[in-house]
Amino acid sequence: MSVHIVTRRDFLKSSGLAAGGLTLGIGFGAGTALAGDASAASETELNAFVHIAPNGDTVLYCGRCEMGQGISTALPAAVADELEADWSRVTVLQGDGDEKYGPQGTGGSKSINVMFTPMREAGATAQAMLVTAAANRWGVATERCYADNHVVRNRDDERTLGYGELAADAAKLDIPETPKLKTPDQFRYIGQPIPRHDMADVVTGRRTYGADTRLPGMKYAAIRHVPVMGGSVKSFDAAEAKAMPGVVDVIHIPRFENAYGSLGGIAVVADTTWQAKNALEKVQVEFEPGPHGSYDSKAYKAELVSRVEQSCEKVHERGNLAAAFEAAETRHGATYTGGHLSHSPMEPMASTVWVREDDVEVWASTQDPAGIQRTLGAYLERDPKSVIVHVMMAGGAFGRKFKCDYVQEAAALSKAVGAPVHLTWSREEDTRTGYYHSLSAQRIEASLDADGNVTGWLHRAAFPAIRTTFDPSVERPSEGDLDAVSGHPYGIANMQVESGLSPAHTRIGWYRAVYAIFYGYAINVFTHELAEKANKDPLDFYRQIYANSTNPEQAEQVKRSLGVLNLAAEKAGWGREVPEGHGLGIAVHHSFESYLAMVVHAEVDGEDIKVHRVDCAVDCGLVLNPDQATAQMEGAVMMGMSLALYTEVTFRDGAVVNSNFHDYPVLRAQEAPPEINVYFTNTDARPTGLGEPGVPTFAPALSGAIFAATGVRHRDLPIKPMTV
């Protein structure tokens, strides 16, 4: 996943504003609506994000993709703050796929830290232009005017002009070179718990998701994929399916050799989804498994364990590990494993595509509209700019909807039948033919001196890297894939990091928190084990190991890691008495430029594990919206608890064995912790990642709580795997 840093000038240029003036030709996707009675033709566009109608009603566009994380409220609210807009007069709309909105790929917890400043500048620029337009109208210096809650005021005589009255004049002005941004004490919306702009539509069922798209003459499709990566359709008999009512065609979709391309399969296009689904069940298909037809994930996990328990390829070394191990008072080693994970968003893959002679129009739940344009451009041999992408609300994604194979399939079907085609994968197809989080094995060995200080650290890891999806020749994690280990804030003086052979046998993709899931688990649980060896309380041991960090360049990381660790421990009452069978566990991890610590209070009764309370301390810099940020953390706890306890995808004979939530269980509402407390450090530092850092800390904290309650140490995830 590439990350783009946006400068103000480049951002304004990409928005079509380098020369100033009014920009026309804005496209609107299905289901959009403008503020008040304004129409697209009557709106004035001050920049890509700010549109003002003659009556003053304002539309703010969000270029990043909304998946439930609240980004379409947080970023436009930052624009509104700098614009000095009246939030009650603002309508927020999702921007279509267009480079004028800046980088739209939404993942890696990068939306806020990449787009926060550029969007503030978009608001501040528009505000300055409105103030100048008012000053020109009154014939006074701009310093004698100021913006205030959707009007510009004259300091001398209290005259006012509304934004709607000024917008057309403002659009003719040059863009200010250096728009003045507010200081934190001046914020009106930034840092405040503003309700989601679409909350009413979400809770009443009026929000339109990708699966809700409806067009005149649209056909519906159901698909069955080749179950094994690299396999193919050997033969199929569609005679019975084609004879069924409403069936338009049965179509073979070949594998598209593209990182975002279809695995290949058989699809039925019909007048209704129900007809397509029923007809697909009548298609007799024989698949050729291909080179990965013998893949067995449990056997492969054992193979990775055997590899990391012997020397692997060295990718990082510092100090003298051999000498540290030789002089050690105590040495300890342990191996940690985790299985494949499925994203399993509540809305499976869904898109509608209309391939026409001169252009292509897409309505899709997506995290990457530009990826859709590139992929369909390559598949249809067209200019990617001819692909119009309407970005729909996604009912969950977690990294899966960065890959647009489901859109390429809908395009193939639309091209074949000459009509718009709506394709929604079944839950079974979503579970069995996705892009999966890597299974992994890690071996850690460390040395302690007589005072319990960590003097040496050996870390071997083997997992199919995400890069294998883009380059199948990749056979092991790279140095970059392992820099979360080599650059860990512990700053161990004597360290060696090694990469184990681990080619991929299925498609590997980004999953919420990505590699931090298994790094956070292994490093924290191993730290707990070292604390036990040193006969120290885990919290005290964390403090000691951070205090001994040897890299002065990591001083800030150490300080902030300790800050959240101490805050979580204080709020949770670390060390308090708990009933028999109960335990407290603690973990801390630095990922996505943020720092997060968690204390879990769990009860263990035989095989039953109940989580009573979770305390999270978060340092992600400036928090734009505390309510939404808290919701993100609560969601991370729920997801982290699912993957800690239950979730694992099993492959056998090359194919996924799981099929739905009955054999790939996610956390149920009645299992949710009754108390989740979230504490933010509330700094004015640059905002950093939030959506993902909460996931990797839950499992090791739970593991520590289980150990405190029972004396049983878990080194494998999930803790309670389901046999399938």
pLDDT attached to residue 687: 95
pLDDT attached to residue 20: 32
CB 250 within 8 A of CB 451: no
Lowest mean pLDDT among 1-5, 165-169, 430-434, 498-502: 1-5
Q: Could you read off the pLDDT of 374-395 as tens digits, one per residue?
A: 999 999 999 999 999 999 999 9
For residue 11, pLDDT over 80 is answered with no
- For residue 29, name the pLDDT band (cuts at 50, 70, 90): very low
For residue 299, pLDDT over 60 is answered with yes
Percent of the chain with pLDDT over 90: 92
For residue 13, pLDDT over 50 is answered with no
DSSP 670-707: GGS-SEEEEEE----SPP---TTTTHHHHHHHHHHHHH
- For residue 42, name the pLDDT band (cuts at 50, 70, 90): confident
pLDDT attached to residue 10: 52
What is the rounded CA–CA span in Å between residue 437 and residue 341?
5
- Classify residue 273 by burial, with Cβ atoms within 10 Å: 0-12, 13-18, 19+: middle
Sheet of strand 421-424: strand arrangement = 247-253, 265-270, 219-225, 421-424, 350-355, 360-365, 387-392
pLDDT attached to residue 521: 98
pLDDT attached to residue 28: 27
Torsion sign over Cα 409, 413, 418, 423: negative
What is the rounded CA–CA span in Å between residue 588 and residue 516?
11
Q: Which residue has the higher pLDDT, 19 or 317?
A: 317
Locate all alpha helices (DSSP H) within 309-343, ordered by sequence.
Answer: 321-326
> How many angstroms separate the first and last alpha carbons of the chain?
32
Q: Could you read off the pLDDT of 413-428 as tens digits, one per residue?
A: 999 999 999 999 999 9
- For residue 330, name the pLDDT band (cuts at 50, 70, 90): very high
pLDDT attached to residue 5: 45
Label the pairing between strands 90-94 and 58-62.
parallel
For residue 14, pLDDT over 70 is answered with no
Write the DSSP symbol of residue 498: E
CB 416 within 8 A of CB 251: yes
Answer left, alpha or beta for residue 379, where phi above 0 means left and psi between -120 and 50 means alpha: alpha
Instruction: Give the residue among 96, 707, 587 at the shortest CA–CA distance from 372.
Output: 96
For residue 240, pLDDT over 70 is answered with yes
- The model scores a pTM over 0.85: yes
Q: Could you read off the pLDDT of 225-236 as tens digits, one per residue?
A: 999 999 999 999
CB 524 within 8 A of CB 700: yes
Domains in the chain, CATH or no CATH each: 8-204 (3.30.365.10), 210-291+349-424 (3.30.365.10), 297-341+436-717 (3.30.365.10)
The mean pLDDT of 651-672, rounded to a whole number, is: 96
For residue 452, pLDDT over 90 is answered with yes
Instruction: Give the residue among 103, 108, 115, 69 at the shortest CA–CA distance from 689.
Output: 108
Q: Indicate the average pLDDT of the chain.
A: 93
The mean pLDDT of 11-36, rounded to a whole number, is: 34
For residue 574, pLDDT over 60 is answered with yes
Q: Could you read off the pLDDT of 172-190 as tens digits, one per residue?
A: 999 998 899 999 999 999 9
Label the pairing between strands 330-338 and 454-462.
unpaired
Lowest mean pLDDT among 14-28, 165-179, 187-201, 290-304: 14-28
Q: Could you read off the pLDDT of 597-653 as tens digits, one per residue?
A: 999 999 999 999 999 999 999 999 999 999 999 999 999 999 999 999 999 999 999
The mean pLDDT of 454-468, rounded to a whole number, is: 98
pLDDT attached to residue 41: 56
Give the amino acid at 499. S
Instruction: Please give the structure tokens belonging to residue 218.
Output: 């649209």
